[in-house]
Amino acid sequence: MEELREQMLAEQAERIARLQMRNEIRMAGLVIWGVLLLGWLIVWFIKLMRDIRRSEAMCSGEISFTCETCGHSFCVPADYLVRHPFMFRKSVYKGNGMTGRTVRQSGRLFCPSCQKKTWCRQDMEESARIGMSGFGEALRKDGLRFLAGAVVLLAAGGIFFTVLNIVF
Ligand SMILES: [Zn+2]
């Protein structure tokens, strides 16, 4: 009688240890999986940004600027703005947070009429339009790739956790 009780206790202890191990492996798996998903998202985002920069719309698009000193209007290739992201800028932002938008933006550019660097106002509608079509182009190129990667990661995670449940 005593022997039987001891055997049952030993079995119970073994089962608990096994469950604990499964939980630990599952936790580690979740962490690694999360890191992989996040990593994939970051890599993809960087790729998307690069493709927006290289898109047809960005490379061939032109944005018009108006000199704030003399009122002369001239065009600057969108590509130039992409290559000079740290140009001096001043902007007027309306609304707050995500719902707001930049209503007016000026940058320090060389005005062909004044023959010097002055504040020149950017055409925001044109900029937004070029940005959106560049984004659309890049998304058409990278959208499927993102889905493929996500599906592979989701499937790998699904298989891992299923196998874990079967083994333990
Ligand atoms: Zn000017």
Q: For residue 4, is it within any domain?
A: yes
| CA 132–ligand 1 middle distance (angstroms) | 29
Tokens standing for residue 91: 């902007």
Please check whether residue 118 lies inside any domain of the structure.
yes
Decide if 97 is inside a domain. no
| Domains of the chain: total | 1
Query: Which pTM was predicted?
Result: 0.70
- The answer to whether position 95 is within a domain reads no
Determine the length of the chain. Answer: 168
Q: How far is CA 23 from CA 17, 30, 167, in A?
A: 10, 10, 12
pLDDT at 104: 86
Q: Which run of H or E residues covers position 77?
A: strand 73-77
127 alpha carbon – ligand 1 mean position (Å): 20
- Strand order of the β-sheet with 73-77 is 73-77, 62-67, 116-122, 101-111, 89-94
How many A from CA of 39 to the centre of ligand 1?
Answer: 47
CA 151–ligand 1 middle distance (angstroms): 53
The gap from C-alpha 157 to its chain's centroid, in whole angstroms, comes to: 22
Q: Is residue 112 part of a domain?
A: yes
Tell me what pLDDT residue 16 has. Answer: 92
Residue 98 within any structural domain of the chain: no
In the reported structure, the alpha carbon of residue 114 is separated from the centroid of ligand 1 by a whole-number distance in angstroms of 4
Containing domain of residue 122, as a range?
A: 1-90+103-168
pLDDT in tens, 57-92: 989 999 999 999 999 999 999 988 888 888 888 888
Burial class (CB within 10 angstroms; exposed 0-12, middle 13-18, buried 19+) of 105: middle
pLDDT given at position 165? 86
For the stretch 92-106, pLDDT in tens is 888 877 778 778 899
